[in-house]
Amino acid sequence: MKSSAKKEVQITVAQCVAMGMKHVVVSPGSRNAPMIIALNQHPKIETIVIPDERSAAFYALGMAQQLNAPVGILCTSGSAALNYYPAIAEAFYQQIPLIVFTADRPKSWVNQGDGQTIDQDNVFKNHIRYSITIPESTAENFEWVLSRELSTAFHYANGNVKGPVHINLPFSEPLYLQTEATVTETDFKIIEVLEPNNSLSNSQKQKLEKIWSQSDKKMIICGQLNPDIALLTELKALAADPSVAILVENTSNLVDYGFIHCIDRTLNSISKEEIEAFSPDLLITIGGAVVSKRIKTFLRNANISHHWKIGFDFLFMDTYQSMTQSIPVKPSDFIHEVTHFKRESDSTFGARWKQKDFLIQEKANHYFEQNPAHGDLTVFHTLLDYIPETSHLHMANSSVVRYCQLFDPIRSINYWCNRGTSGIDGSTSTAAGAALIKSETWHTLISGDVSFFYDSNALWNKVLPPNLRVFMINNAGGGIFKIIPGPNTTEELEDFFVFKHDFSAEHICKGFQVDYFKAESLAEIESQMEAFYTFEEDGRAKVMEIFTPSELNHEQLEGFFKEIKL
């Protein structure tokens, strides 16, 4: 096997492979040549080339999310590295193991007027779990330092708490010199961290059990989670207890008849007089970000006596300003314990929530049976009916993910969204990376027009998977700003918030050899679905641009909420 002649590069690649990295998304450059050569020549590494670093990093994020394993990204020095930052921040808050390799000039040449050179040491410092600048092979003890540092980085990337880590690699010239790889397993030593499987002591359990059994109104809220069968099984068992309300969103990837899936839809029908009866006294939270703003406001105003946050990450993230205990235990293990707690309460708090949810679901179905007009809401209703079973749905920020919460999730579909930072800058790239990894199933992205144009370089690569479909809802700007309160009270609404425009994706798609479909009505969407979801082995992703009347959307959504109110 050929490789870079640089020993530190050979060790870095060999050790990262040994620690579980199998994929690296590479962006072209010169300073990163030693790593490009070593990665590309390594038989156990799959390299993917994406020229735009911002897109490349999101692409890798989508891959790592699906694999639940470390994925590398590699770029040259200078501003190339900074373009990784949006995806790094997303990975940090979503706990996705991204291994960020940036090539660099040797330290002595930083800030000396050399080209493509910036100060890269710990440059992502606010949103990175670990950062190292690796020694060149001339440094004292370099093999020991390098191996130890790589072990540390992989622990922080892929331990109990996951996230992005930065490995900065300063290279002196020559950069392109190659040799036969000589590094063997004796040239590096992996330090393994054996993390204990946390569990509660008996006295801790007793303390919690006492609170549990004395609480009449118990609520569990699940935020963003990867599909987790063990957790689903435990929560299903707990849902049988009528004193417990279990609230989930589609991004929780937990679907059961006993859960409340459409939080905003249900909250919309809770009157002022009912607030107390629907507020929990014990709140348990699991998972990452919650999309619903309404539930955050509802719970921040509620009189919560106990709030237990379950999980290893962000121990003090007190989203509802009521946290009393942070419990770093695996969520399925914790809920398993809870199902064995004494059930003393005869309250029907959970049943009350469930009943309301059920009645509103009926009303929502009735609303759509009346064939309301073409608009964002009805487009979502139509599209969600067509998402193939056993597939993946990616939702862009921001009104897209909110609209999707209004419809009951489908059990066989996995739901994804970049809710770590809720950016609109990498949704298409993330979905493309995910589709590349799970190539045997359909991946559908629903995106707004602003998000789509923002990340249109997601189409600028040679690996755009044929199992990816993108519905782009063109409502002539950021529709979210017409829905949320505030922007519409200003003179700046159309130009500064919505960014009203009449652009179309047609020629972007043509330029990047992507099949383009266009629809201006529900009937036009439906009539093209079969062709749209036709799979071509050697094809590329397809995009359907759906135009909606921006002046109607807000009114339609308000009408819907009014109509489904109990």
- What residues line the site for ligand TPP (CB under 6 A)? 396-400, 422-425, 448-451, 475, 478-480
**CA gap 378, 184 in Å, rounded:** 60
Q: How far is CA 69 from CA 11, 44, 62, 272, 437, in A?
A: 20, 15, 11, 46, 12
Long-range pairs, 501-505, Cβ under 8 A, ≥24: 501/449, 501/476, 501/477, 502/476, 503/449, 503/453, 504/474, 504/545, 505/449, 505/452, 505/453, 505/456, 505/472, 505/474, 505/543, 505/545
Pairing of strands 282-286, 218-222: parallel
CB of 293 to ligand TPP, least distance (A): 13
Q: Which is nearer to ligand TPP, 285 or 474 (CB)?
A: 474
CB 528 within 8 A of CB 544: yes
Q: What letter represents residue 561's amino acid? A: F
CB of 292 to ligand TPP, least distance (A): 16
CB of 276 to ligand TPP, least distance (A): 34
Q: Which is nearer to ligand TPP, 70 or 375 (CB)?
A: 375
CB of 536 to ligand TPP, least distance (A): 28
Token output for 41: 């020549």
Q: Which is nearer to ligand TPP, 208 or 459 (CB)?
A: 459
Q: Which is nearer to ligand TPP, 61 or 400 (CB)?
A: 400
Q: Which is nearer to ligand TPP, 215 or 548 (CB)?
A: 548
| Burial (Cβ within 10 Å: 0-12, 13-18, ≥19) of residue 96 | buried
**CA gap 168, 175 in Å, rounded:** 16
If you search the block for the tokens 């599209």, which residue do you land on? 383
CB of 449 to ligand TPP, least distance (A): 4
CB of 56 to ligand TPP, least distance (A): 17
Question: What backbone torsions phi and psi does residue 286 show, to the nearest 5 degrees?
Answer: -135, 140
**CA gap 267, 289 in Å, rounded:** 18
**CA gap 481, 53 in Å, rounded:** 29
Q: What letter represents residue 461's amino acid? A: N
Q: Mapping DSSP to helix (H, G, I), strand (E, B) and coil, where does residue 498 land?
A: helix
Q: Which is nearer to ligand TPP, 449 or 494 (CB)?
A: 449
CB of 544 to ligand TPP, least distance (A): 15
Q: Which is nearer to ligand TPP, 4 or 399 (CB)?
A: 399
Running DSSP on this structure, what letter comes out for residue 429?
Answer: H
CB of 47 to ligand TPP, least distance (A): 28
Q: Which is nearer to ligand TPP, 397 or 430 (CB)?
A: 397
Of 245, 228, 257, 315, the C-alpha closest to 284 is: 245
Q: Which is nearer to ligand TPP, 90 or 136 (CB)?
A: 90
CA atoms within 13 A on the CB side of 465: 26
Q: Which is nearer to ligand TPP, 290 or 450 (CB)?
A: 450
User: Can you count the helices (H) and strands (E) in the chain?
Assistant: 21, 19
Q: Which is nearer to ligand TPP, 78 or 479 (CB)?
A: 479
Of 521, 522, 543, 513, the C-alpha closest to 531 is: 543
The residue at minimum Cβ distance from ligand TPP is 448
CB of 478 to ligand TPP, least distance (A): 3
Q: What letter represents residue 100's amino acid? A: V
CB of 407 to ligand TPP, least distance (A): 15
CB of 223 to ligand TPP, least distance (A): 18
